[in-house]
Chain A
């Protein structure tokens, strides 16, 4: 090929790409949300003189052109592939692929935040609980904990130590040995409900509860494919997970009560399964500040206050055999200072069950 021909090809290709992309971007209908990234996309900004002068319009237009770029998800995948396979980078925007699973770097251990989280729990105990309450706490390791040592991960051992040093009067339930890497979804941060029998067993033992066997007491129902939150963030094409729910005749008849919406729903919210961008919301309808589950067939008067994050949604149904009522409190969405307006603190069992991801962030209110 002669230089002239090469120059023509370079020029024509460049011009063609620029103009085709320009035209496609102009005629393409704007999307409102990105399903893969689970977020709203920037829309064309309203332009005012004030915004122009402050430079806000320019910023908004830059965000808009990036968010509404044609074939955005394909470009994001291409970037991810380049970063992973050509650059051999161990992570892409903090996420990485290992043995078909997606992981997010949560590092380092933020000792100050963990300390604050533990103090928050201690304050709740001091303010609301008394010697009639059996109080326990447990830490759910993020799935990176089970990776080999050359990946950056939170030092769960040190986190346990910090928590135990503050919560000296509360019994700690160690569940780190009850889980393995395959007990977590490949495309999501959460654990799988159907793999929690060891964890449930450990909690029951430590809390002196009747031993139930989730695998014998329930039947497993496969709801379908599950693309977890890491899937869209990484932008790489890998096999989705499947979401299973453990059911029996009791669970099917039990309703949850949401204090915010003042509505009742099923333990497994199949409407959320259909409509929500996060299919994990099928468990107890996803993020809810305050919720109760009442089991009429449970041991009379036995109650559990479960201070939890999203991991708690899938394990709570499996603890129902031992309780007539479970109250789930998510301190990320409700302030601990107003709990006595909704909860009558008496002689309930109390379990603080939080993942390392939450404790490391100091987001308990």
Chain B
């Protein structure tokens, strides 16, 4: 089930909210657990068993690590648990990718296996790993109640598209959390804004992206239109989902970490990654980069550490080479920035440093969205008119005019401009008055787009 569906919005959510708030406090976690399993079952009827199995393994190994804390066995159990969790992730997500690559070198090809990637497996695997590692590091207490651990892993607001919530972040909230009108209203606000970002901007631009990919009438303008549309689509889709998750979390009393912080206003790629998919980059920092030695090591090892992290970050996004290249591309740029560019970037006029980030990121998303190396090279080359393609063609002009307003809205909404205006003291009264109307309008129009059966892709099926 996805948040931007009628089934979720007008059937699942009202029912779960009603039951959750009717039952006594001690039953609320159970309601959420059942709801989360139903939510996952709706989309993955079989793989719900896999998730249950993973939770059971995590629970047992968590208990074992806790029991044998400070002995050599704790590390052994941690390694075993990691092998099983990563093993399941590799099996379901990467087996065919591996076979495909091995087959390139073999005379007698290995058959592919029939396996469908379970939605959300990358997210919940990382959550479970964070729990186990934190227990091992004594940063988290062992959760002795399997239902609470199951709820942490399967909590439906963040189950299929993040943010990756660390166990330590909501450890206390699993036991005690407050439910206030203010928190609920903030949750509603965040949820509706996220829904609007996803349905009214990302999906609309997604349609342009697909139209471009299906077209044979290429021109420089069309390539630029595509590149900008992809960039905005991915941002609004992903941050929209995160907003909805954070909003839903608040409705049920939770405080999830922020996942995006206006990444497109960054002035360097280093800063960009402090603002983009924060929960993932901090996960890799704390559980891979720092354990490898981080930057407190020789330069060579430091470069190695960065490249390992970015290789894995790329691979995490999907079992295909374009994702690996995408990750490595960022790794290389980050190294260059840290070794060479940072001192120059700092001196650059703001406009140029923003432009630098936007161009690098734009190219990265062309790689991210590419189906093949040829297509990626063509889409990047098209930006500079490779192969003498024309500057504009009727189709590109048509879609430029047709999507101009949405793109303009997307660009403005990806900066904190509106937020800053809203927060101005002199507008406070008007904003307070208009906010409920604005939110209802967004909910209404988003519903209209969903009811119309408009383009509504789920981008994270490869994550």
**How far is it, in angstroms, between the C-alpha of A235 and the C-alpha of B449 when the chains are bound?**
12
Given A18-B13, A22-B11, A108-B216: A58 touches B402 (CB 8 Å cut-off): no
Q: Are B188 and A66 neighbours in the complex by a CB distance under 8 Å?
A: no
| Contact status of A62 and B405, CB under 8 A, knowing A11-B188, A22-B15, A25-B11 | no
> Could you tell me the distance in whole angstroms from the C-beta of B203 to the nearest C-beta in chain A?
11
Q: Is B9 an interface residue (CB 8 A)?
A: yes
Q: Which residues of A contact B429 (CB under 8 A)?
A: 1
Could you tell me the distance in whole angstroms from the C-beta of B132 to the nearest C-beta in chain A? 30
Residue contacts A-B, CB under 8 angstroms, 28 given: A1-B429, A4-B181, A7-B184, A10-B439, A11-B188, A14-B192, A17-B443, A18-B13, A19-B18, A22-B11, A25-B11, A53-B45, A55-B44, A61-B42, A62-B5, A65-B10, A66-B6, A66-B450, A75-B448, A76-B448, A78-B445, A78-B448, A79-B448, A79-B449, A88-B404, A107-B395, A150-B397, A152-B394
Task: State the Cβ distance, B221 to closest chain A Cβ, in Å.
Answer: 14
- Interface positions, chain B 1-31, Cβ under 8 Å from A, are 1, 5-7, 9-11, 13-15, 17-18
Complex: how many Å from CA A83 to CA B457? Answer: 19
B453 at the interface (CB under 8 A from A): yes
> Across the two chains, which residue of chain B brings its CB closest to A81?
B448
Q: Which residues of B lie under 8 Å from residue A287 when comparing CB positions?
A: none
Question: Given the complex of chains A and B, what is the CA–CA distance between A8 and B181 in angstroms?
Answer: 7
Identify which of residues 435-456 in chain B touch chain A, using a CB-to-CB cut-off of 8 Å. 435-436, 439-440, 443-445, 447-454
**Using Cβ atoms and an 8 Å threshold, which residues of chain B touch A13?**
436, 439-440
Please list the residues of chain A having a beta carbon within 8 angstroms of any beta carbon in chain B: 1-4, 6-11, 13-15, 17-19, 21-22, 25, 52-55, 58, 61-62, 65-66, 69, 72, 75-76, 78-80, 82, 86-91, 93, 107-108, 150-152, 235
**A93 and B452 contacting across the interface, CB-CB below 8 Å:** yes
A10-B17 in contact given A58-B42, A150-B398 (Cβ < 8 Å): no
Report yes or no: A14 in contact with B188, Cβ–Cβ below 8 A.
yes
Contact flags (1/0) for B201-236 with A, using CB distance below 8 Å?
A: 000100000000001110000000000000000000
CB pair A62 B14 closer than 8 Å: no
**Which A residues lie within 8 Å of B189 (CB)?**
10
Q: How far is the CA of A10 from the CA of B181 in the complex (A)?
A: 10
Determine the distance from Cα of A69 to Cα of B450 in the docked complex, in whole angstroms: 10
- Within 8 Å of chain A (Cβ to Cβ): is B46? yes
**CB pair A89 B406 closer than 8 Å:** yes
B193 to chain A, nearest CB (A): 12
Report which of B398, B436, B452 forms a contact with A90, defined as CB distance below 8 A.
Answer: B398
Interface residues in B, total, Cβ within 8 A = 57
Contact of B182 (CB < 8 Å), options: A1, A7, A61: A7
Closest 5 pairs (CB-CB, A-B): A7-B185, A90-B402, A79-B448, A18-B14, A65-B6
Contacts of A151 in B (CB 8 A): 398
Q: How far is the CA of A61 from the CA of B8 in the complex (A)?
A: 11
Establish whether residues A87 and B6, one from each chain, have CB atoms under 8 Å apart when the complex forms.
Answer: no
How close is B428's CB to chain A, nearest CB, in angstroms?
Answer: 10
Task: State in angstroms the CA–CA spacing of A4 and B398 once bound together.
Answer: 47
A65–B2 alpha-carbon span in the complex (Å): 13
Q: In the complex, A4→B185 CA distance in Å?
A: 10
Q: How far is the CA of A88 from the CA of B403 in the complex (A)?
A: 8
Shortest distance from the beta carbon of A135 to any chain B beta carbon, whole Å: 33
Closest chain-B Cβ to A150's Cβ sits at a distance in Å of 7
The minimal Cβ–Cβ distance linking B412 to chain A, given in whole angstroms, is 14
State whether A10 touches B188 (Cβ < 8 A).
yes
Let me know if A62 and B17 touch, CB within 8 A. Answer: no
Instruction: Known A53-B45, A108-B395; judge A79-B6 contact (CB<8 A).
Output: no
Name which residue of chain A comes closest to B207, CB basis. Answer: A93
A4: chain B residues at CB < 8 Å are: 181-182
Chain A CB within 8 A of B381 CB: no
Q: Are B454 and A6 in contact (CB under 8 A)?
A: no
Q: Judge whether B432 is part of the interface by a CB distance below 8 angstroms.
A: yes
**What distance in Å separates the Cβ of B15 from its nearest Cβ neighbour in chain A?**
7
Cα distance A150–B443 in the bound complex, in angstroms:
34
A238 CA to B180 CA, complexed, in Å? 47
Bound CA–CA A235/B436 (angstroms): 28
B451 x A76 contact (CB < 8 A)? yes
Is B390 in the interface zone, CB < 8 Å from A? Answer: no
- Decide: B185 and A11 in contact? CB cutoff 8 A: yes
Q: Which residue of A has the minimal Cβ distance to B192?
A: A14
A contact residues around B401 at 8 Å (CB):
90, 150
* Docked complex Cα distance between A4 and B180 (Å): 11
B440→A152 contact, CB < 8 A: no
A19 to B445, CA, bound (A): 18
Known A11-B184, A78-B444, A79-B448; contact A21-B436, beta-carbon cutoff 8 A? no
The answer to the question of B293 belonging to the interface, with a C-beta cut-off of 8 Å to chain A, is no
A152 to B405 CA separation, bound complex (whole angstroms): 19
Closest CB-CB distance, B443 to chain A, in whole Å?
7
- Any chain A CB within 8 A of the CB of B43? yes
Provide the bound-state CA to CA distance between A78 and B454, in Å. Answer: 13
With CB as the reference atom, state the residue of chain B lying closest to A26.
B11
